[in-house]
Structure 1
Amino acid sequence: MSSKTANPIMHSAAWRISLWATLAFAIGTMLVFVMLHRFVANDIQRRSDAWLSGEVAVLGDVAGRTPKDRLYGRVVREVAELASREVPNKLRSNGNENDSVFFLQAGDDGALKLWVGAGDGTPNLAAIQARKFVADVPYDLNVKGFKHPFRVASVQLEDRSHIYLGLSERDELRVLRNLRFRFFCLWLLIVLFGSAIVFFVTRRMLGHVREITEAASRIGQSDLSSRVPTSKRNDEVGHLALTLNRMLDRIESSVHQLHTITESLAHDLRSPLTAIRGKLEVVLSSDLKVEQSEPIVLAIDELDRLSEFLNTSLDVAEAKADALRLSLVEVDLDELIRVMIDLYEPCMSEKGLRVNLRSTGPVTVLADAALLHRVIANLLDNELNHLPASCTVSIKLGASENAAILIVEDDGPGFASEIGLQMFEQRVKGRDSKGHGLGLAFVEAVVRAHGGSVTASNLPTGGALLSITWPREIGEKIEAPHSLTLINRQAHANLA
């Protein structure tokens, strides 16, 4: 798994922030438009209703005052046609007829007495008679043969006849349709423009955070003197950079103090141990009997084990504190393991142990060669010291795109149950172990210092299995749980 900080645009925080901001802005502006649209529609209808109510009252008054003679129909029709011409901003159909306004007078028996408008008025009268309406209140009327509804107002005359004045809602709907179209175009333009601005500003702001992250990721054990870039802006990003730099100052000082302490401790302890060993060797070189020289040899061996214990303890402490100094070079794991097996095979054969190596070929990793050599030596020492005779050690080496995978398993008794989850801790060992409990702790500390991971398990068929996943490049970091659990079967199968 790579730890690269560069993300695709679709997965960046700037994209998510701009997306949510755009969504909120789009919903907000849409709600504003809905309210505006409703206000405009109500205002247009209110104006239309006011015009209808006024004109139908005038027509009713003219019809009531005009004598019911041969000129009645002509006078009322001319007044109705004059009223229809007073409607502003009305579009007419392709024909010569006025289909925007109609005037209709029906007798008390419901028969059509007078009609002014497009057609013969029969559909209009049928629609009026079919609809229940409240007198003196304009209402919507759908007439067969007309695409758009009419807004109709009515008045009752003294002879119980009714006058109806209808105004087509075609132009009102046209105005609202144009309003919706223009607002949608403007809304889309503003949303896209606003989204681009939010994305640009957010991406530019987070770009400084990304620069800080990339600079911080390049600061490792060998480059603690580097610092993240700062800016002159007195904002949150500038404060973040200053805080990280102050934290790095404290870390560099702590690591420097740790190195000073460990080096002083190593020097103060190694010097007397080396002096004692030298004196014992001088005594051993003199003529001594066998029974006299044997305790001296055992004492020298104990001093060597004590020196090794001291070196390993200090290395583990530095690695646990992420202060282990690494000299990274390219190392061929396949070649190194073969050399180490050749070195340990005589001792293992003498104890009755067999070693099998299954490798996919050369596997190059970037590592500290000396520490990697000690890791392999610790693994083989662990097998040599804890396996009974007639056991087999199987070593499998493979590689994926980003990591090298080393699996060491055996058919022995497995890890002691009492060490449980603490097997990678210092001085944790089984009851029958004669070591110091630093082997696996050292392995885990060195692997983790290189960005790798270690897992261990007891096989269901018996025996122990330990897997090391080692990154092949700088910057790769592989996480895995350190516990007594079965190893990932897919990775195991790839090496089988």
Structure 2
Amino acid sequence: MSSRWPDALRDALGLRLALWYAAIFVASALALVVLTYVLLSASLRRYDRDTIETTLVQYARAYMIGGAPGLARELREGNLAATPGPLFVRLLGPGEELTFFSMPQQWRRFDLSQLDTPRLSGEQTWATLDTGDGGDELEVASVRLADGTLLQVGRSTDRRKELLARFRLVLLVDLAVVLVIALAGGVAVTWSGLQPVRALRDTVRGIVQTGRTDARVPPASGGDTLGELGNLVNAMLDRIDRVVAGMRGALDNVAHDLRTPLTRLRGIAEEALTSGDPVRQRAALAECVEEADRVNAMLHTLMDISEAETGTMALTREPVPLSALVQQTVDLYEDAAEDRAIVIETEVDEGLVVPVDRTRMRQVLANLLDNAVKYTPEGGRVRIRARAHDGRAVLTVEDTGPGIPPDELPRVWERLYRGDRSRSTRGLGLGLSLVKAIVEAHGGSVDVSSVPGTGSRFEIRLPLSTIA
């Protein structure tokens, strides 16, 4: 891991994420520290004031019982063990004459004339004295007793400031440690979090450099978004591989299937040229036109399939009644079916409307019905049914033909694939591929089932239209 950390630090995105993580972490710690300091300072201030108030009450009680000598004795005996440090104590008579005074020498710099004195009996006031040099302060509580005497008790804030200064030093050290931990943690978290992105980058870079699409992003252990992104990229690469393999297979099939008509074209043309017979030359030209039309139809169908599969096929969607569409298609093949004594039965629920391209969907039905009539023996039956199920229109085309062998069933949708039984029948091998591509371009699905010797059943599922 250590060898990869410099890469993580050189990565601009990783560095930004690490700094953001560290900044948020330090800001959160700083906010917590400031809040703690403020609460501690307020607590110490409240503690000092409570201590002064408690001492004031105790000294007032001592004065009321023993007068100024009692107050002096209370101060001298130091009964306030819970009040560490020296105290400022002053007692002024009703005429503001000084009756009792006790103040450490180092506090003489405070100006006592700034103290606010209460006028009413039982009234208590607070005052804070400072020297203006930014040093400690003197907090004084004053109370007017029942006989008019003024009792003042105070203490310096030097111990509180010293404690807070030490606490600030500890906090600064803690913040420095937090900063180091935040930076190290930010780098570690960023390096770990961006590992799937780096794996994705390396995979894509390898594909760009080598041109091979068999590389895959290493699977992520967690189910997070980056892991899902890697899985989606792998699925995309799998699909690209399948498309490329399909294109190679299609090109091979096209080359193989075009070789025969092109060879026939050349043979027919050469024979016509060498014959010198105008009648034979005219017949040869007609055969050449027929072969050219067949090749042209193959290429156009391949282009339609590619457009449908890539989503570039222009579809003019409109609400189309399925019953009318089926009847129009049946009318096209009714004569061919009668010539072979094949019965075409239709059973379409009324009111079924599908949002499709009328021409393209008629092309789908024509391909299915053409196959059914073509492979059904004389005296057989073709049945077309349509009904609504689970919010979709389900259309089935069944025949009583020879069926499709199980080993050929998964391949019937492949381009230019023709089963052994269909080799003797003239065709391009693209009809079912076009059916699947067009149906899926409309957001539908198509499936096939077959029992050899019994017949085949093709099922199309299309979304129903919201407009009846």
- TM-score computed with the length of structure 1 as normaliser: 0.46
Q: Which structure ranks higher in relative contact order (CA pairs < 8 Å, sequence separation ≥ 6)?
A: 1
- TM-score computed with the length of structure 2 as normaliser: 0.48
